[in-house]
């Protein structure tokens, strides 16, 4: 009886010790939460950002969730960079110019005049001509991670009154990007900056005369085609350079597989935009019922092309980094011209 009792007590003691030593049941970790804001309003954002973020949230399988906000919902677009840099928001979808990044490459974001002809120019320049590395270096200086870069729509005028010559641009109040506006002042355009969501009413009431912010697909998608009448076929640029960014510290905190997933999802977003715009631009020029097409004759438009070359030199003189980017644009476009059709006509 004594032996049996001692064995029982010993077994009980060991069992208690084992129970105390056993690891506690780990509770499911709360998902990583990010807030991202896009430059785009709700109607446009449904195409250019939301599908990618929805797909990421689903594929992240509860490990991470990105809350998406549209133009000016949390932060004015012009303050997006600073808000991301200081961690007020975690990520941004924008071009460099709209969010006024304090980098040497900001002037090339959005629409650098007549530097790009087609949407495929952008991924080629970033992947094969070194722009990706330059952009990464510039943003790393400011604590921001460049997630991915892509090509979006062209930049054309949509106006309340017809534009058939350069003289018709003189005095027009146009909502456009900072760099495009700086260039267009050479032709008498008055650049206007205001909240994105105010543009349609401003057009409708005559506060502004037009927009040079997108191609015809966006004009129809966001409602600007309802309050303008004419679309100028001469492009300020054939493609937009846009990006996804993140606060570097927040980026460093997420595991590698989520970084890879986010990069894949944002690249898919760029791909979607390429075919959405390419097909939409052609279809709406031919079948769109709201905007009449106008064109400035090629002999007049040559003045714009000459002015663009002068503008490039002006920008190149401002810094070594800007000179590097301008030289890449020059070399690339020279090669495309020599290659001929279909690269350049």
CB 254 within 8 A of CB 32: yes
CA distance 109 to 49: 18
* CATH superfamily name and code, 32-151+240-286: Bacterial extracellular solute-binding protein, family 7 (3.40.190.170)
The pLDDT assigned to 345 comes to 83
Question: Do 32-151+240-286 and 156-237+290-309 have matching folds?
Answer: yes
The pLDDT assigned to 3 comes to 47
CA distance 242 to 48: 11
Where do the structural domains in the chain lie, given as residue ranges? 32-151+240-286, 156-237+290-309
The pLDDT assigned to 229 comes to 98
CB 233 within 8 A of CB 293: yes
- Examine residue 342 and say whether the peptide bond preceding it is cis (omega within 30 degrees of 0): yes
The pLDDT assigned to 11 comes to 47
Compute mean pLDDT per 10 residues along the chain, 345 residues long, and list them: 46 46 52 97 95 98 98 96 97 96 95 95 97 98 97 95 98 96 97 94 98 97 97 96 97 98 97 94 97 97 97 98 98 97 92
The pLDDT assigned to 13 comes to 47
Q: Pinpoint the alpha helices (H) of the chain.
A: 2-21, 42-48, 50-59, 80-85, 121-128, 131-140, 178-184, 199-204, 216-221, 248-253, 256-287, 298-316, 320-339
Write out the CATH class of domain 156-237+290-309: alpha beta
Q: Per residue in 23-34, pLDDT tens?
A: 444 445 789 999
pTM of the model: 0.88
Q: Per residue in 260-302, pLDDT tens?
A: 999 999 999 999 999 999 999 999 999 999 999 999 999 999 9
CB 290 within 8 A of CB 220: yes
Sheet containing strand 173-176, edge to edge, reads 190-192, 173-176, 210-214, 156-159, 230-232, 292-294
CB 322 within 8 A of CB 104: yes
Strand-pair partners of 173: 190
CB 90 within 8 A of CB 36: yes
The pLDDT assigned to 28 comes to 54
């Amino acid at each position: 009886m004594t032996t049996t009792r001692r064995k029982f007590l010993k077994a009980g003691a060991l069992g208690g010790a084992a129970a105390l030593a056993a690891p506690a049941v780990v509770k499911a970790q709360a998902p990583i939460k990010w807030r991202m804001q896009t430059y785009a309003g709700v109607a446009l954002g449904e195409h250019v950002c939301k599908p990618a973020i929805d797909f990421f949230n689903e594929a992240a399988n509860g490990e991470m969730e990105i809350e998406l906000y549209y133009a000016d919902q949390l932060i004015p677009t012009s303050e997006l960079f600073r808000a991301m840099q200081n961690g007020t928001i975690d990520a941004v979808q924008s071009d460099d110019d709209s969010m006024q990044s304090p980098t040497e490459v900001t002037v090339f974001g959005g629409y650098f005049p007549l530097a790009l002809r087609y949407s495929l120019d952008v991924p080629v320049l970033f992947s094969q001509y070194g722009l990706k590395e330059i952009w990464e270096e510039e943003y790393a200086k400011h604590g921001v991670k460049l997630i991915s870069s892509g090509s979006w729509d062209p930049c054309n005028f949509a106006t309340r009154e017809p534009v058939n010559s350069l003289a018709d641009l003189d005095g027009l109040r146009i909502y456009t990007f900072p760099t495009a506006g700086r260039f267009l002042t050479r032709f008498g355009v008055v650049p206007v900056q205001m909240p994105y969501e105010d543009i349609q009413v401003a057009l409708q009431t005559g506060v502004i005369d037009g927009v040079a912010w997108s191609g015809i697909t966006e004009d129809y998608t966001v409602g600007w085609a309802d309050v303008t009448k004419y679309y100028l076929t001469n492009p300020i640029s054939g493609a937009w350079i846009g990006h996804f960014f993140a606060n570097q510290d927040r980026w460093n905190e997420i595991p590698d597989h989520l970084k890879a997933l986010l990069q894949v999802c944002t690249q898919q977003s760029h791909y979607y935009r390429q075919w959405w715009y390419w097909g939409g631009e052609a279809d709406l020029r031919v079948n769109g019922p709201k905007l009449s097409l106008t064109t400035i004759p090629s002999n007049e438009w040559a003045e714009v092309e000459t002015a663009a070359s002068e503008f490039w030199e002006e920008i190149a003189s401002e810094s070594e980094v800007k000179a590097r980017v301008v030289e890449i644009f020059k070399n690339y476009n020279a090669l495309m011209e020599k290659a001929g059709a279909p690269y350049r006509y």
